[in-house]
Structure 1
Amino acid sequence: MGYAVVLGEALVDLLDAEHDGEPVFRQAIGGGPLNVAVAVARLGGDVQFVGSLGDDPLAGRIRAFLGAAGVGLDGAVTVPAPTALAVATFAGPEPDFRFYGEPRSYALLTADDLDVAVVEGAQVLYCGSIVLLDPPVLAAARRAWAMAGALRVFDPNVRPSLLAGPDALDDLRAVVAEFAASAHLVKLSAADARHLYPREPVEGVAAYLRELGAGTVVVTLGADGALVAAADDVVRVPAPKVDAVDATGAGDSVMGALVADLLHAGEPVDPTGWRDRVAFALRVAGLVCESPGGATAMPTREAVANRFR
């Protein structure tokens, strides 16, 4: 079995919480791609994180956490910047993230920083999330995408608070179309679909991304499970019933589970195979939702099997 490369952001989340009846923010290591990398490692996959990390004690905690989780850092670079913070509040089913820090520590990876050997040797390459809004990292992602002989997976992971300017959404749609056109797998949430294509039902969004060239499209639907568009087959896969306490990282865990299974067994040969993969990924996400935190809640295969016997 080979390894995966996850290219994207790592940062520190400040999660809206309560302590002794008072509102507080709970610190958690996060970033969508970091969550994906940790999920892959916890599920038994070999994975390298590629991105820029700050030069402060918070970045030291991120490095230590990733190392302890079994995530490689051969492709990570240190940059002269404090670690970016993402403040998460929960007013609805999807957390609202606001980002702080300038320059953004996660957005300083350049195309020249890429470890070519690490990227070229990957069996699966993940790109996506908020780093693609920053031109230097977008250039790095494009270079990695072009050089990889790997299965390519993409997740837009839209954060509306970062879309500044009248053309920002159109620019993001163009980037999504660019990567989706040559992706073996695109995973996005129903919220991502609404932000990108507000007048389209999720089935229409999945069909559009497949028309662009995406091999398979998975749209997560929260408690309603996921929609899977593979070949000419479009089905909904139900989510397991769980006692949810925190949905942070649930969507990332779905992607992590799918990447881990791509590493283990390659692409499914038919739509039924994709449905089975997504059903397992939803069980992983269900277990994540039963624990607070994002990356810290990513489970092992044994834990998933024990929870959903």
Structure 2
Amino acid sequence: MGYAMVMGEALIDLLEADLDGERIYRQAIGGAPLNVAVGVARLGGDVRFAGTLSTDVLGDRMAAFLRAAGVDGQGVRRVGVPTTLAVTTFEGAEPTFTFYGEPPSYALLTPADLDVPAIAGAAVLYAGSISLLREPFLAAARAAWSTAGPLRVFDPNVRPTLLPGTAAVDALRDLTEEFFATADLVKLSSADAVALYGEHDPAAAAAHILTLGAGAVVVTCGSRGAHVATRDGATDIPAPLVEAVDATGAGDSVMAALISRLLTGGRPTGPAAWTGHVRFALSVAGLVCERQGGATAMPTPADLLARWGDR
């Protein structure tokens, strides 16, 4: 089994909560790619993280958290700007994010910072999320993505609060489709499909992304499960029944679970294999939703066995 290289943002989530009738914000380490990296490690995978962390105390905490989670941080560069904060509010269990911090501490990785041999030697390369909206990180991601060797997985992880108008949405669509075209796997949410294409039918969105060149597409649909599509077929997979308290990081856990399966089994050979991978990923996400979300909610195999049994 090889290792995964995960590129992208690490930041601090301030999660809205209620304490004795008072609205407070609970600090949590987050960022979709960091969540993915931690999720892969918790599931037993070998994973390396490439990105930038602040030199402030919050950056120190994130670096220590990655080490404790078993994520290799040799690809991390420390930068002298304050850690970006994501203030997270909720409608039910679904989070909305507003970001604070300029320049963003998470998007300062440059192409010169990349360990190209380490990227070429990876079994899986992950890119995506909000770090792609900024330079120099976008240039670094493009350079890594063009490196031959690993399976390439992509998640747009659209954040509407970072898209101020139609032009920004159009630019993001063009950017994500650049990566979709050469991805072995695209994972997106149904909300991402609406934001990018105005498309409320996950199957239609997945079919379009396949025409761009993606090898497989998984569209997560919250409590309704997921739609998985390849050139050989498509199907809908129901989610397990859970008592959701916080969906933060649930989509990231799906990607982490899919990466863990790619590390152990390589590229799936047909729709049935992808379906099995997605069923497993939805069981991981279901458990995440039953916990206070973010990187700390990512489960281990023992957690999954205790919750779901041997499935």
Structures share fold, TM-score greater than 0.5: yes
Partner of 1:139: 139
Counterpart CA distance in 2 for 1:230 and 1:304 is 27
Which structure 2 residues correspond to residues 47-196 of structure 1 after superposition, within 5 A? Answer: 47-91=47-91, 94-196=94-196
Match of 1:264 in 2: 264
Aligned to 1:45: 45
**1:288 is matched with which residue?**
288
Q: Match of 1:277?
A: 277
- Describe the shift of the 1:47–1:156 C-alpha distance in structure 2 as closer, same or farther (beyond 3 A): same
1:240 is matched with 240
Q: C-alpha separation between the residues in 1 aligned to 2:275 and 2:123?
A: 22
Verify the 8 A CA contact 1:9 1:32 in the aligned structure 2. Answer: yes
User: Does the CA-based 8 Å contact 1:74-1:118 persist in structure 2?
Assistant: no
| Counterparts of 2:305 and 2:280, CA distance in 1 | 10
2-side partners of 1:53 and 1:100: how far apart?
A: 15
SS of the counterpart of 1:76? Answer: strand
Deviation at 1:213, TM superposition (A): 0.4
Which AA in structure 1 matches 2:242?
V
Name the CA distance, whole Å, in 1 between partners of 2:93 and 2:15: 14
For structure 1, the 5+ residue unaligned runs are: none
Note the C-alpha offset of 1:164: 3.2
Q: Distance in 2 between matches of 1:153 and 1:40?
A: 13
Equivalent residue for 2:212? 212
1:93 Cα deviation (Å)? 5.5
Asked whether the 8 Å contact 2:51–2:109 carries over to 1, the reply is yes
4+ residue runs of structure 1 moved beyond 2 angstroms?
A: 91-94
Contact 1:119-1:147 at 8 Å conserved across structures: yes
Q: Counterpart amino acid of 2:272?
A: T
> One-letter code of the match for 2:61?
R
When normalised by structure 2's length, the TM-score is 0.97
SS in 1 for 2:242: coil
Deviation, structure 1 residue 285: 0.3
What is the deviation of 1:199?
Answer: 3.9
Separation in 1 of the partners of 2:11 and 2:199?
A: 32
Separation (CA, whole Å) in 1 of partners of 2:252 and 2:180 = 18
Cα distance in 2 for partners of 1:69, 1:283 equals 21
Question: In 1, distance between residues paired with 2:98 and 2:108?
Answer: 19
Q: Distance in 1 between matches of 2:165 and 2:282?
A: 35
The residue type equivalent to 1:46 in the other structure is D
Q: Shift of the alpha carbon at 1:204?
A: 1.0
Tell me the alpha carbon deviations over residues 262-301 of structure 1, each in whole angstroms, 9 at most, x when there is no partner: 0111011110111011000000000001110310010011
Q: Does 6-15 or 129-138 show the bigger shift?
A: 129-138
Question: Per-residue CA shift, 1:33-92, capped at 9, x if unaligned?
Answer: 000000000001000010011110000000011100000101110111111000000125
Tell me, what secondary structure is at the counterpart of 2:248?
Answer: coil
Q: Secondary structure at the match of 1:147?
A: coil
The amino acid of 1:260's aligned partner reads S
Deviation of the 1:165 alpha carbon: 4.9
Q: How far apart, in 1, do the equivalents of 2:113 and 2:28 lie?
A: 27
Task: Determine helix, strand or coil for the equivalent of 1:174.
Answer: helix
**Cα distance in structure 1, aligned partners of 2:97 and 2:36:** 18
Amino-acid identity (%): 61
Q: Kindly provide the CA deviation profile for residues 5-42 of structure 1, in whole angstroms up to 9, marking residues without a partner as x.
A: 00000000000101122100000000000000000000
Letter in 1 for 2:203: E
Determine if contact 1:122/1:148 at 8 Å carries over to the other structure: no
| d(CA) in 2 for partners of 1:93, 1:190 | 16
Bigger mean CA deviation after superposition, 93-102 or 188-197: 93-102
